[in-house]
Structure 1
Amino acid sequence: MIDFSVEPEFQAKLDWMDRFVRDECETMDLLFPESGVQFDVSNAAARRHLRPLQEQVKAQGLWACHLGPHLGGPGYGQIKLALMNEILGRSHWAPTVFGTAAPDTGNAEILAMFGTPEQKQKYLGPLMAGDIVSCFSMTEPQGGADPEVFTCTATLDGDEWVIEGEKWFSSNARFAAFLLVIAVTDPEAPLTERMSMFIVPGDTPGIEILRNVAIAGDFDPENGHHAHVRYDKVRIPRDHMLGERGGGFKVAQARLGGGRIHHAMRTVGLCNRALDMMLERAVSRRTKGAMLGEHQMVQAKIADSVIELEQFRLLVLKTAWLIDEIEAGRMKHGAARKHIGMCKVAMASVYANVVGRALELHGSLGISLDMPLAKWYGGNMALAFADGPTDAHRSQLARAYLKRAVPAKGLFPSEHIPSRLARALERYPDAREPRPIAGPAAETA
């Protein structure tokens, strides 16, 4: 049976989260708004304020809930995680306060899945404790996320791997205690077996941050946290490979599905906050002799936002349910792939529409930095590129459905009415012949 209810015990945790995020995490947003500051473990003031909040989260049993029981976590499953992330999406500090900030969440998952006991002890433990942050270094400046054109290589030299090449948009590299780097180890192998994943300690000689790139929505164009990195003959021990040689593609894919769902539900949370702002503005401001909310165009913007957001939320929750069914063994592996793609494609447009309408209703105040809307709207396009470009998912989704399509057998489409009618008459040749009406009515006539 389909059931949209939430058990009372978990609803109580969600209610606590909602109050806590509004009261404490949104306050952190105001106190420490700088780009990437939530990942800077050396920022003493921010960490001094952060630690007590994290302890409250841990006391509630809500710390780092993204790991399943087989990976040492509470095992909430994707539906519960989706409902939690809907709340966390209200604040850019909230994921750090709750130990679920990207890219650390995905990195923790693949360390738990593919790491050796030694790797887990050295890197996963401190990461899960919130003592360090990490970086996922995959895309490259000349080819973006297309693995076919990756040129960063890792060559085995005795008991060491030597990494050479450049990576682009390696988020949080300047704060990271370690970086997960995907590099070509077997250039002649098939694409999915060409690359391997490596753990690179952040203080390894040869790591050069060429520039920390800012994005739309950041305050300082020279102080972003998405690094252009050069690996100049970076040497790491042989045992710092994560997973098997040639298995980098598999390792990378393992971290993306859940991450896309978490991003999607956090988008719902932020859009809910924008909708609340839209509604407040509509009943607070008068123009042309009436409240904003009494004008039909404003009502249309509100209605469209409510509908789009509800549709998207239900899509994400269904996708989370599919992933849980796969994890439980009730559906085959890959059954959620198309829906994950749908979430990825829809996310950026829903975000842009809802936040954009809220900004419009606030007029000049909305475009100013006195409100958070302009910063949110400016950062919208980042969602279109995070975890892979949206257009790639759109194309992949279309191809998946095209595989299910069957060509029309004749000259006309299968729904061609004259052709279908002709076939129907072949089955029932006397269907249109007039017949006398039987029964009492005919006798009366």
Structure 2
Amino acid sequence: MDFAFDAATEELRERLTAFMDECVYPAEARLTLNEDWSTPAVVRELQQEARARGLWNLFYELPNLQYAPLAEITGRSIQLAPAATNCAAPDTGNMELLAQFGDEAQRKQWLEPLLAGEIRSAFAMTEPEVASSDATNIRTRIERVGWGSPRTKSGGQYVVNGRKWYITGAMNPDCKVFIVMGQTDPEADVRHRQSMILVPRDTPGVTVRRAMTVFGYEDRDHGGHAEVVFEDARVPAANLIGEPGSGFAIAQARLGPGRIHHCMRAIGIAERALELMCRRVSERTAFGRPLADQGVVQDWIAESRVRIEQARLLVLKTAWLMDTVGNKGAHTEIQAIKIVVPQTVEWILDKAVQAHGAAGVSQDTPLAVLWAGNRTLRLADGPDEVHRRSLARRELRRYQG
């Protein structure tokens, strides 16, 4: 088995690493978050440089196996690098969704400016009143009104009513469109009740009500997370994505690549945390000995390296399967990395925080905000328990009649 990256990937890794060393890491100290939630000026500067260096839309241009090691590199500076290269969630998933399921007009109006980095977008699925880990629970109503066939997108309008929350990126004024999931046919089979529709931010009846915090953090660097209310928001029927009732299937198709992108970047977070831990324990002395000489600290470091290597190999295998047999063929591995990687990175971040003492929970290192964001991944795109349940059922079917 050959575990080496191909020549094209190695060349991109070298260019991206140089961009990180020369531009991104030095810019971290200059990151200033805007009161209006808009994209920080330093991100705009980095975006220009990334485009000039040919490091733009890497997720869109490359197969998963080539993109994985690049996403890991950007994950080392999670507040800057993904956005700088136009590879930040939720836009990546929304762009892939529009590319796969949007019609020509939808791609022209929304996908092209997203790929150009001219606008941002949001994916509005999660609701506060239901267990959104089961997407069939979504209660937002998307109701057809006016003339036109209910089974086509020609003529008439859809009226959207519902309440969403933790809608990532929605606080950013550059977020110009919501991809909204809701019921178009409450009487249909549970997997065919939902549809997805494009709702421009400036549609009357759309209210971005408040910002939601994550363990107290506002996450202004990537547009925050908002509660959004839709009250009789009317959009043309042509804004429906795909066919009526296809929302659940579209959501599953979108979440697969989104899950692996999160895991790719999370490996980079783990590497950054391990590096910070090693530097810290090499510089500090306690009870007459360097922290690096303490057996428990050495255990943390060794275990961190082992866990990173295990997680990376599983992510790369998943990426390879997605490229070769498709997302459905990689279903088991996608769920496996979604369970393993956030927990692995959480463990390493915890040990890095412990090694830093009080500094580890302060604003003087990135560890606290990285821990909060990574802990959220165990809920985002499906909680651990849902993925474990699905994995167990698939495994059991091999032994049941």
The amino acid of 2:105's aligned partner reads: E
Cα displacement (A) at 1:7: 2.7
Query: Is 1:274–2:282 an aligned residue pair?
Result: no
The amino acid of 2:84's aligned partner reads: V
Deviations 1:379-403 (A, max 9, x none): 3321111111121111111111111
Per the alignment, do residues 151 and 95 of structure 1 end up closer, same or farther by CA in structure 2, a change over 3 Å counting? same
- Normalising by structure 1, we get a TM-score of 0.82
Q: Which has the larger radius of gyration?
A: 1
Match of 1:318 in 2: 317
Match of 1:201 in 2: 200
Aligned pairs for 1:94-243 within 5 A: 94-145=81-132, 146-158=134-146, 159-175=156-172, 176-216=175-215, 218=217, 225-243=224-242
Which shows bigger deviation, 384-393 or 51-60?
51-60
The amino acid of 1:81's aligned partner reads: Y
Matches of 1:224 and 1:257 in 2, distance apart?
23
Q: 2:57 aligns with which of 57, 61, 64?
A: 64
Unaligned ranges ≥5, structure 1: 68-73, 328-332, 408-445
Deviations 1:398-441 (A, max 9, x none): 1111111259xxxxxxxxxxxxxxxxxxxxxxxxxxxxxxxxxx
Cα displacement (A) at 1:36: 10
Moved over 4 A (4+): none
Greater RCO (Cα-Cα under 8 Å, separation 6 or more)? 2
Task: Tell me the matched-pair count.
Answer: 387
Match of 1:89 in 2: 75
Q: Superposition RMSD on alpha carbons, in Å?
A: 2.1
Matches of 1:27 and 1:200 in 2, distance apart?
38
Per the alignment, do residues 364 and 191 of structure 1 end up closer, same or farther by CA in structure 2, a change over 3 Å counting? same
Q: 2:340 aligns with which of 330, 346, 351?
A: 346
Matches of 2:166 and 2:297 in 1, distance apart?
39
Per the alignment, do residues 179 and 207 of structure 1 end up closer, same or farther by CA in structure 2, a change over 3 Å counting? same
SS of aligned partner of 2:59: coil
Matches of 2:3 and 2:316 in 1, distance apart?
10
Per the alignment, do residues 50 and 168 of structure 1 end up closer, same or farther by CA in structure 2, a change over 3 Å counting? closer
The amino acid of 1:88's aligned partner reads: T
Unaligned ranges ≥5, structure 2: 147-155
Deviations 1:168-212 (A, max 9, x none): 211122321000001100111111111111000110000122221
The amino acid of 1:390's aligned partner reads: D
Query: Is 1:360–2:354 an aligned residue pair?
Result: yes
Cα displacement (A) at 1:285: 1.4
Per the alignment, do residues 326 and 199 of structure 1 end up closer, same or farther by CA in structure 2, a change over 3 Å counting? same
Which shows bigger deviation, 119-128 or 165-174?
165-174
Q: 2:390 aligns with which of 389, 396, 403?
A: 396
Per the alignment, do residues 186 and 10 of structure 1 end up closer, same or farther by CA in structure 2, a change over 3 Å counting? same
Q: 1:335 aligns with which of 329, 335, 343?
A: 329
Q: 2:43 aligns with which of 44, 47, 50?
A: 50
The answer to whether the 8 A contact 1:217-1:376 is kept is no
The amino acid of 1:168's aligned partner reads: W
